[in-house]
Amino acid sequence: MAVEERDPVSGQKTTGHEWNGIKELDTAVPLGVLIFIVVTHLWALVWWILMPTWPLITTHTRGILNTDQRKIVEQDLVAAQAQRAAWMKAIETGTFEEIQANEDLMKVVRSTGHQLFGDNCAACHGADGKGRANYPDLTDDDWLWGGGPEKIAETLRLGINSRHQNTRVAQMPAFGRDAMLDRTQVTNVATYVQSLSNPAASTPQNVAQIQAGREVFLTTCAACHGEDGKGNREVGAPNLTDQFWVYGGDLQTLINTIHGGRQGHMPTWDERLTPAEIKILSLYVNSLGVEKP
């Protein structure tokens, strides 16, 4: 039995225990801690009475408020499904114009479309739809195959150079590799194409080259890209006079494109997505270009 002992410095009683020469003062539990313990115990008691708490053998105490989280979740789910069914039907049956005019439906389009885009399209076009080298930017409102939800829906259904029997076909021939143009002609026409969107690329030194390139362009390229180079959405030939490039507008990339050709591939979404999902994505992609979020 420890003898009652006082700490010589503070004059407090000690507990009498000793650990390696260290002794503990025998002080009361601080009032704040005591109040905390009492209040939390009372709170627990009240909670046991009000809420479901103690497990019994086959059931549990239900509490006088009779709340049931599982039931609440079930009710929420039913409500959410009913709401989803309502807007799904509106999207399935509405025309693009009707949906676009309905701000509530467009909110659904933006959130559901964003999710569908992330799941199916972001791998190629980027999470923000801005594309990257070899994959077009979908937010620039500059279209290879035409903007607006109808055209975009068609692109999604058919795909581009895809397995779909009516696929959109994008064939930029390999003029150099297939020996339709010689090396000089390829360089000349690339220089001409570069000058279309970049006035700084035309200098007094290369006027003759650009002129020769223009001749090649008019005989060889204009059938698809147009005499003015502004492209043709019927064949997916890009506008070559603007700042938007799928592959790149610098001279070396232009030479590579004209030498080796380009055939972009985009899968058909006809079987993978429902018609309603294609509709939502078309409106969503269209909004990326038009609304500039």
* Tokens 């003759």, residue located: 208
| Closest CB 261 distance from ligand HEC, rounded Å | 8
Q: Which of 112, 143, 214, 279 binds ligand HEC (CB under 6 A)?
A: 143
H-helix or E-strand spanning residue 231: none
Q: Does the protein bind ligand HEC through residue 127 (CB under 6 A)?
A: no
Tokens 């143009």 belong to which residue? Answer: 181
**75: three-class secondary structure by DSSP:** helix
Q: Which residue has the tokens 């260290």?
A: 22
Residue list 26-45, contact with ligand HEC (CB under 6 A)? none
CA 285 – CA 282 distance, rounded (Å): 5
Closest approach of Cβ 102 to ligand HEC, in Å? 21
The candidate with the shortest Cα–Cα distance to 192, out of 246, 229, 235, is 229
Only one of the segments 25-33, 97-105, 202-210, 260-268 lies at the binding site for ligand HEC (rule: CB under 6 A); that segment is 260-268
Residue nearest to ligand HEC (CB): 264
Do 269 and 278 form a contact (C-beta atoms < 8 A)? yes
Residue with tokens 């509106």: 90
Radius of gyration of the chain (CA): 36
Q: Which two tokens stand for residue 34?
A: 């005591």
Beta bridge partners of 112: none
Question: Considering the rule CB under 6 A, would residue 265 count as an interface residue with ligand HEC?
Answer: yes
Binding to ligand HEC (CB under 6 A) within 216-255 occurs at 220-221, 223-225, 235-238, 240, 245-248, 254
* Smallest distance, ligand HEC to C-beta of residue 74, A: 33
Size of the site for ligand HEC (CB under 6 A): 48
| DSSP state letter for 201 | G
Q: Which of 75, 93, 203, 263 binds ligand HEC (CB under 6 A)?
A: 263
Stretch that binds ligand HEC, among 18-26, 84-92, 94-102, 141-149 (CB under 6 A): 141-149
Q: Which of 135, 154, 241, 260 binds ligand HEC (CB under 6 A)?
A: 135
Which of 99, 109, 125, 287 is the binder for ligand HEC (CB under 6 A)?
125
Near ligand HEC by CB under 6 A: residue from 23, 110, 259, 262: 262
Structure tokens at 284: 């969503």
Site string for ligand HEC, 168-207 (x = CB under 6 A): --xxxx-x-------------x---x--------------
255, 182 contact by CB (below 8 A)? no
What is the chain's percent helix, strand, coil content, to nearest 5?
50, 10, 40
- Strand (E) or helix (H) holding 23: strand 22-25
DSSP 251-262: HHHHHHHHHH-B
Which residues would be at the binding site for ligand HEC (CB under 6 A)?
A: 120-121, 123-125, 135-136, 138, 143-145, 152, 155-156, 160, 170-173, 175, 189, 193, 220-221, 223-225, 235-238, 240, 245-248, 254, 257-258, 262-267, 269, 281, 285
